Amino acid sequence: MPLFQKFEALSQARKALLASGADPFNVVLDRMISSTEAIVNGRNMILAGTNNYLGLTFHPECIDAARVALEEQGTGTTGSRMANGTFAGHVALERELADFYQVGSAIVFSTGYLANLGVLSTLAGPDDVILLDADCHASIYDGCRMGEAEVIRFRHNDPTDLDKRLRRLGERATRTLILVEGIYSMLGDRAPLADIAAIKDRYGACLVVDEAHSLGVLGEHGRGLAEEVGVEKSVDLIVGTFSKSLGATGGFCVSRRPELDLIRYASRPYIFTASPSPSVVASTRAALHILSTQPQLRHRLWKSAEYLYQRLKDMGFALGPEPSPVIAALVETKEGGIALWNQLVEQGVYVNLILPPAAPNGGCLLRCSVSAGHTDAQLETICQAFASLS
C-alpha cells in the first residue's frame, strides 16, 4: 500500500540489522531473577542497561505496597484523572512529591513521556518561545511541537550560546521557556545548571529542568542536579519520571509556582489519559520513602559508577565526559558497535545498543546504566566482558 511506502527505508535498515545477528529492540526477558539479573533466551544475563539506578524494582517494601493496593483497589483506575481516575493514592503521592522537593505543587502523570508532553504543550503556546538544549529527550521535543511555540535550539551544554539567543529575543525573553536536563541519558553528562540558572534570572525567563536521570542520583537528598548545585529556587518547574530511580512507571511535575495546578485543566495528555494504577502508585510512594531515608543506596550507586567508568576508561574506551551512572562507550561505526554488542550478549552482559541518529557522529554507543543493586562480582563480570571485546 502507498501509505506504508514511507517505511521502506526503515524496513531495509531493520533487515540489515537482523542479518548482522543483532536484534537489540527485541530482547525478551523470559524471567527476572533480581533487579540486575534475568533469564534471556534460556541463559543468565547481567542487566547493565536498565536505568534501575537504586535497584528498587525488587525491594520488599515496594512489592508489599503494590500487593496491598492490588488486593484493596484492583488492577486499574479505568479512567482519566479528571473523569473517574483520581484515587486517594494519587493525591497522597502528589503531596509527598511536593514535600520531598520542598515546593507547593505537584502533578502526577501516567508516564514520564506524558509529563513532558502534558506540561510543555500546555505551558508554551503560539506567542511564546522555547529555548532547548539540542540534546534534550524526544519527549521534550514532542511536547514543544504540540504547543506550537517558536522552538530554538542552543548548543548542548553551552551557556554562552543560550545567553546570545536570549539577548536576540529582546523583550520576548520574558515569554521564553528554557529546557535542559539534569543528566543527559545518552552520555551521562550534566547540564551546567548554575550558569544556566544565572542567565535565566538575568533575562526573566522560565526554567524547566528534566531530572529523569538525576532524581535519586544527585543532591544531598537525591532531589537532582538543581539541589546539588544549589539553584532550586531559580528553577521554575522540575519534570521527572518514576521509571528510573523509583523503579515503576509514571511521571510528575513539581513547582513553587501555585499556577502549576491550573495545568491540570488545560493539559490534553493529562485530561485524556487513564491515570496510573493503584499498585504502581503504591510502589512509587514506597520507593520515594526509601530514596528519602536510605542515602546509602545513592552512595553505593556512585561508588560502582565511578569504578566502572574508570575501569572502562583504563581499557581505552571513549566515554562520556564525566563519571555518571550512565556510562556510554563510543564506537566509531555502526557495524563495529553491533558486533561488540553481540559479543557482550554472548558473555551474558546486556547493555543498551544505541544506533544513529540517537548516537553521535554516525557511530553507536554501548550504553551501560549502573545500579546500586549491582554486586561487586557482577561489576567485575561486566568489566571482564568489555576487556575481552575485539
Q: Residue 52: which residues within 8 A CB-CB, separation 6 or more?
A: 35, 36, 244, 247, 369, 371, 373
| pLDDT tens-place string over residues 168-196 | 999 999 999 999 999 999 999 999 999 99
Local confidence pLDDT in tens for the 390 residues of the chain: 788 988 898 888 888 878 777 677 788 999 999 999 999 988 999 999 999 999 999 999 999 999 999 999 999 999 999 999 999 999 999 999 999 999 999 999 999 999 999 999 999 999 999 999 999 999 999 999 998 899 999 999 999 999 999 999 999 999 999 999 999 999 999 999 999 999 999 999 999 999 999 999 999 999 999 999 999 999 999 999 999 999 999 999 999 999 999 999 999 999 999 999 999 999 999 999 999 999 999 999 999 999 999 999 999 999 999 999 999 999 999 889 999 999 999 999 999 999 888 888 888 999 999 999 999 999 999 999 999 997
Q: What is the pTM of this model?
A: 0.95
Q: Which residue has the cell 514535600?
A: 99
Query: Domains in the chain, ordered, with CATH?
Result: 9-47+295-387 (3.90.1150.10), 60-293 (3.40.640.10)
What does the longest C-alpha to C-alpha distance in the chain come to? 62
Please list the alpha-helical segments (H only) found in 74-192: 88-101, 112-123, 138-147, 159-169
**Do residues 236 and 257 make contact, with C-beta atoms less than 8 angstroms apart?**
yes
Cα–Cα distance, 93 to 99 (Å, whole number): 10
Euclidean distance between CA atoms 254 and 100, whole angstroms: 10
Cis bond before residue 357 (omega within 30° of 0)? yes
- For residue 21, the Cα-to-chain-centroid distance in whole angstroms is 28
